[in-house]
Amino acid sequence: MDFSYTQEQKMLQESVQKFIQKSYDFETRNKIMASERGYSEENWQLFAELGWLTVAFSEADGGFGASAVDLILMMDEFGKAMLVEPFVPTTVLGGGLFSALGSVEQKAEFIPKIMAGGLQLACAYAEANSRYNLSSVATTARVNGDSVTIDGLKIAVLNGSNASKLLVVARESGARTDREGISVFMVDADAPGVSIQAYTNIDGKMSAQVSFEAVEVAVADRLGAVGGAIGALETVIDRATVAVSAEAAGALEAMLQKTVEYSKVRKQFGTAIGTFQALQHRMVDMFIECQLARSIVLRAAMKLDSAEDEIEKARAVSAAKSRVGKAIRRVSQEAIQIHGGIGMTDEMDVGHMFKCVTGLAMMFGNTDYHTARFAAL
Amino acid sequence: MAPGPLESRRIDVNADFTAEELAFESEVREFLSAEFPGEYRDKVDANIRLSKDELVNWQKILYRKGWAAPNWPQEYGGTGWSATQKYIFATEMGLIGAPEPVPFGMKMVAPVLMAYGSDEQKRRFLPDILESNVWWCQGYSEPNAGSDLASLKMSAVRDGDDYIVNGSKTWNTYGQYADWIFCLVRTDNSVKKQEGISFLLIDMHSAGVSLKSIYLLDGHPEVNEIFFDDVRVPANNLIGEENKGWTYAKVLLTHERTNISGVPRGKRRLRALKRIASDTDDGFGSNMMENSTFKNKLAETEIELQALEYVELRTLAALSVGKAPGPESSILKIVGTELAQKMDELFVELAAYNCLPFLPEQFEEGFQGNPVGPGTAASSALVYFNNRKLSIFGGSNEIQRNIISKAVLGL
């Protein structure tokens, strides 16, 4: 048994830590969020130069190896800094769908562009009535000869307003919640019939609601086999689920650290509030939650990198997201409570972390959803 | 046969209303359904804040009916209701979503004026509070005096007929609307910290008063920091005696904790949760009301509300037989706020992806855009964020636990 990181992994981690330390403090993040695109293109190009955009891709696809452990190392650091750049939607979701479903030609055309920082993607899967069920798809795709017509409304499309290509999950056949009949299509964001309503999420990342009205694409814009995308979609979302779980684990650890620091300097009743046992034990519980969260995320990543069967992998992912969701609630609420009023202000980073992890708790399914999925698998 | 031991010890408990009380309940219900403006109700249902003008207008409606101040003695314009009638009124108000009058004047400064103010002060301030002509805010907390309120530093130094006030106050809810602020100020540094505090009323329009909005996590400037720079305050704005302010403030805090359980509002929100759950697809072709995990959470919430309601009724019953509100009111604050926060979580869970958009403007008056998400879904996280304040303000829940620990358990 060996839980130590490889030399490459340590270097990757240090590379992210250095960038965050140098170029991503709270004020900088606020400026980036207030900018027109809501993320920094300059940072994005730097990520490409540093090789970070290759991490999600296999060596066969020209990437760094597609290791889930590599991915969570990065996400953990991103979480601590509340990074808003669209790493997950473009490389993990969009890139993941190209890797899993793309033809040789599609991969060759798009994956190098993603890794070079020249292509922003968004994955449009969720719908008004789908909740977290990936096979609940009401958006339709109708084939007429060489073209396909897409109609439907997608919600919570991360990076939807900055992506030049949208990967749209649509139904070619079957009833609304059938697993069969679901395909993924590449749609240009500026195609006629696509309307994008952009907004910022509570975690500071850009998102959008996207409607498709008689949007025409070519049959050749389908990724993978006709109606056969659900398995790949689940695998890709599972990987993204581990990524956001790691992001949350990092953010929670930062919240714990900030709370402990604050309790040492905030004086009431003539002493630092951190000297009160009632608060000490609660901070200990936060620490325990952080450790459990971190551990179960690592477990999930190691399972994804192993030769286990798909069911075991999926169970490990749901276990992680379920448990991290609980940790999010306990740690983040206590962090605000122990900070008191100051923790509720827009000026303090801890409050923004609270908002970030609240969003992450819902992303790709909350605790209840993943507990039920774990039990059912 | 002689009564057995069980029967002889039976206590005649009842929670039923009398015929008069039931008639009163109908009267309140009819009044509220007729007089609480429909557009206000719609806003409350849509999670849109009522404006200052609307809050003032609503209080004036209550005032004209003579119901603005159920908790005031009749001589000052109170209703003269029994404890049960007050409970019925608060319940009906909560169920329909009608806000209580803004508490800073009505529930916070007024009781102190009545108990310790001069006749001149009562005449000057109470009628305008009752009729909502003057808006008050609370000046207690300071940046370095939160839970340890008695360590406050804002100073008032006597200069002829005036005090010269310097320092700052924070977390002043709706301070931006306030005409007056009631403050705890330090008038003596040489004694034990609780013994050098005075209770002073300050006109917010005085020279040297400035205000900075504090934006909270939901993007709303609900609270403020207020700065006092050589503010001249007439000495006749002092309540009672100099250096007795701490004693007066403690009385005020007990009043702040009455009606704090929020059971009626909780019941109303539970109804909303059930309605939304029935309308929310579970993603598998059914709805969230049929989701057994979520259904159990709603049941747990309802059970907790029932337990809390009966704690409140028992407290009320004790009050109606003449006992003073004790430290048990801290239970209502702790459980009431934590239960409200639990319900916030359930709204967020129901909203799922629709809790993610940060669109406070969608829940401002006059929003004209294309709303994201159904109903109030996109406000669920905003409310969840904002309501973290419930366990922090009004004496944090840690302070409430200290009160129970000391005053009830004798630890």
Confidence of residue A276 (pLDDT cuts 50, 70, 90): very high
DSSP-assigned letter for residue B4:
P
Mutate to test the interface with A, among B216, B353, B411 (most CBs of A within 10 A): B353
Q: Do B151 and A268 touch (CB under 8 A)?
A: yes
Pairing of strands B223-234, B209-214: antiparallel
What whole-number distance in Å separates Cα of residue A305 and Cα of residue A66?
A: 9
What whole-number distance in Å separates Cα of residue A33 and Cα of residue A203?
A: 10
Residue of chain A with shortest Cα separation from B215: A346
Confidence of residue B3 (pLDDT cuts 50, 70, 90): very low
Confidence of residue B1 (pLDDT cuts 50, 70, 90): very low
Q: Which chain A residues are within 8 Å of B398, Cβ to Cβ?
A: 278-279
| Whether residues B298 and B402 fall in one domain | yes
| Whether residues B156 and B185 fall in one domain | yes
What whole-number distance in Å separates Cα of residue A332 and Cα of residue A165?
A: 35
Mean of the per-residue pLDDT values for chain A?
97
List, for residues B288-301, the tens digit of each pLDDT value. Answer: 999 999 999 999 99
| Whether residues B403 and B261 fall in one domain | yes
Q: What is the pTM of this model?
A: 0.95
Min CA distance, A3 vs chain B (Å)? Answer: 35
Q: Do B392 and A341 touch (CB under 8 A)?
A: yes
Residue B6 inside a domain? The answer is no
CA distances from B35 to A167, B27, B43, B64, B267 (A): 53, 12, 15, 11, 21
List, for residues A189-207, the tens digit of each pLDDT value. Answer: 999 999 999 999 999 999 9
CATH code for the domain of B164: 2.40.110.10
Q: Which residues contact A12 (CB under 8 A, 6 or more apart)?
A: A52, A55, A70, A73, A74
User: Is pLDDT at B257 greater than 80 in this prediction?
Assistant: no
What whole-number distance in Å separates Cα of residue A122 and Cα of residue A165?
A: 7
- Choose the final residue of a domain: B80, B101, B122: B101
| Whether residues B322 and B395 fall in one domain | yes
What whole-number distance in Å separates Cα of residue B138 and Cα of residue B199?
A: 11
The Cβ-side half-sphere exposure at B5, using a 13 Å CA radius, reads 0
Per DSSP, the three-state class of A138 is: coil
Residue B13 inside a domain? The answer is no
| Whether residues B278 and B337 fall in one domain | yes
ipTM above 0.95 for this complex:
yes
The domains spanning A7-119 and A231-376 adopt the same CATH topology: no
Residue B249 inside a domain? The answer is no
| Whether residues B339 and B200 fall in one domain | no
Identity of residue A277: Q
Residue A170 sits at the vertex; the CA angle it makes with A165 and A171, to the nearest 5 degrees, is: 160
Min CA distance, B354 vs chain A (Å)? Answer: 7
- Residue-level pLDDT at B9: 45
Token pair in block for residue A252: 């929670």
What phi-psi label fits residue A6: left (phi over 0), alpha (psi between -120 and 50 degrees) or beta? beta
Residue B116 inside a domain? The answer is no
| Whether residues B205 and B229 fall in one domain | yes
Identity of residue B81: W
Per DSSP, the three-state class of A249 is: helix
H helices of B117-214, in order, are 119-130
| Whether residues B97 and B221 fall in one domain | no
- Residue-level pLDDT at B8: 44
Residue range A231-376 forms a domain whose CATH class is mainly alpha
**CATH of region A7-119, choose from 2.30.36.70, 1.10.540.10, 3.90.550.10, 3.20.20.10:** 1.10.540.10
Min CA distance, B381 vs chain A (Å)? Answer: 8
Q: Which chain B residues are within 8 Å of A270, Cβ to Cβ?
A: 148, 151
Among A182-186, A295-299, A314-318, B398-402, name the one with the lowest average pLDDT. B398-402
Residue B356 inside a domain? The answer is yes
Closest by Cβ to A368, choosing from B214, B294, B353: B294
Residue B385 sits at the vertex; the CA angle it makes with B379 and B391, to the nearest 5 degrees, is: 135
List, for residues A168-181, the tens digit of each pLDDT value. Answer: 999 999 999 999 99
Q: Which residues contact A359 (CB under 8 A, 6 or more apart)?
A: A201, A202, A203, A205, B355, B356, B381
* C-alpha torsion B279→B282→B287→B290, nearest 10: -140
| Whether residues B266 and B389 fall in one domain | yes
DSSP-assigned letter for residue B179:
S
User: Is pLDDT at A3 greater than 90 in this prediction?
Assistant: no
Residue B363 inside a domain? The answer is yes
- Residue-level pLDDT at B10: 46
**Domain with B396 in it:** 257-408
Query: Taking chain A, what is the end-to-end CA distance rounded to the nearest angstrom?
Result: 27
Q: How far is CA B69 from the centre of its chain?
A: 14
- Choose the final residue of a domain: B182, B216, B244: B244
User: Is pLDDT at A215 greater than 90 in this prediction?
Assistant: yes
Mutate to test the interface with B, among A129, A131, A205 (most CBs of B within 10 A): A131
What whole-number distance in Å separates Cα of residue A276 and Cα of residue A280?
A: 6
What whole-number distance in Å separates Cα of residue B239 and Cα of residue B109?
A: 10
Residue of chain A with shortest Cα separation from B294: A368
Q: Which chain A residues are within 8 Å of B151, Cβ to Cβ?
A: 268-270
List, for residues A90-102, the tens digit of each pLDDT value. Answer: 999 999 999 999 9
Closest by Cβ to B214, choosing from A155, A156, A345: A345
Q: Which of A188, A183, A167 is nearest to A90 (CA)?
A: A167
Checking A310-315 for CB contacts under 8 A at 24+ apart, the result is: A310/A235, A311/A377, A313/A238, A314/A234, A314/A238, A314/A373, A314/A377, A315/A374, A315/A377
| Whether residues B235 and B298 fall in one domain | no
CATH code for the domain of B297: 1.20.140.10
In degrees rounded to 5, what are phi and psi of residue B12? Answer: -85, 85
Residue of chain B with shortest Cα separation from A278: B398
Question: For B27-40, what is the mean pLDDT?
Answer: 97
Q: Which chain A residues are within 8 Å of B192, Cβ to Cβ?
A: none
Residue of chain B with shortest Cα separation from A134: B283
Q: Which of B337, B317, B386 is nearest to B47 (CA)?
A: B386
List, for residues B109-140, the tens digit of each pLDDT value. Answer: 999 999 999 999 999 999 999 999 999 999 99
List, for residues B91-105, the tens digit of each pLDDT value. Answer: 999 999 999 998 899
Question: For B271-285, what is the mean pLDDT?
Answer: 96
Pairing of strands A271-272, B136-139: unpaired
Q: Do B391 and A337 touch (CB under 8 A)?
A: yes
The full length of chain A comes to: 377
Q: Do A209 and B372 touch (CB under 8 A)?
A: yes
Instruction: Count the domains in chain B.
Output: 3
Question: For A16-37, what is the mean pLDDT?
Answer: 97
- Residue-level pLDDT at B84: 86
Q: Which chain A residues are within 8 Å of B216, Cβ to Cβ?
A: 344-346
| Whether residues B303 and B352 fall in one domain | yes
Give me the residue spans of the domains in chain A.
Answer: 7-119, 122-228, 231-376
How many CB atoms are closer than 10 A to CB A271? 10
Q: Do A341 and B389 touch (CB under 8 A)?
A: yes
Q: Do A340 and B392 touch (CB under 8 A)?
A: yes
- Choose the final residue of a domain: B244, B277, B293: B244
DSSP output for A56-81: TS-TTTTSS---HHHHHHHHHHHHHH
Question: For A153-180, what is the mean pLDDT?
Answer: 98
Closest by Cβ to A133, choosing from B283, B294, B385: B283
Q: What percent of chain B is modeled with pLDDT above 90?
A: 81
In degrees rounded to 5, what are phi and psi of residue A64? Answer: -85, -15
Active site residues of B: 256
Token pair in block for residue A350: 């801890």
Question: Is B396 in contact with B388 (CB distance < 8 Å)?
Answer: no
Question: For A135-150, what is the mean pLDDT?
Answer: 98
Residue B108 inside a domain? The answer is no
Min CA distance, A114 vs chain B (Å)? Answer: 26
Min CA distance, B284 vs chain A (Å)? Answer: 7
Residue B367 inside a domain? The answer is yes
Per DSSP, the three-state class of A68 is: helix
User: CATH homologous superfamily of domain A122-228?
Assistant: Butyryl-CoA Dehydrogenase, subunit A, domain 2 (2.40.110.10)
Q: Do B148 and A268 touch (CB under 8 A)?
A: yes
Min CA distance, B235 vs chain A (Å)? Answer: 30
| Whether residues B56 and B97 fall in one domain | yes
Closest by Cβ to A344, choosing from B217, B291, B372: B217
Q: What percent of chain A is modeled with pLDDT above 70?
A: 100
Strand partners, A149: A142, A216
Q: Do A199 and B294 touch (CB under 8 A)?
A: no
Q: Do B355 and A202 touch (CB under 8 A)?
A: yes
Q: Do B353 and A156 touch (CB under 8 A)?
A: yes
Map tokens 């219900």 to a residue: B29
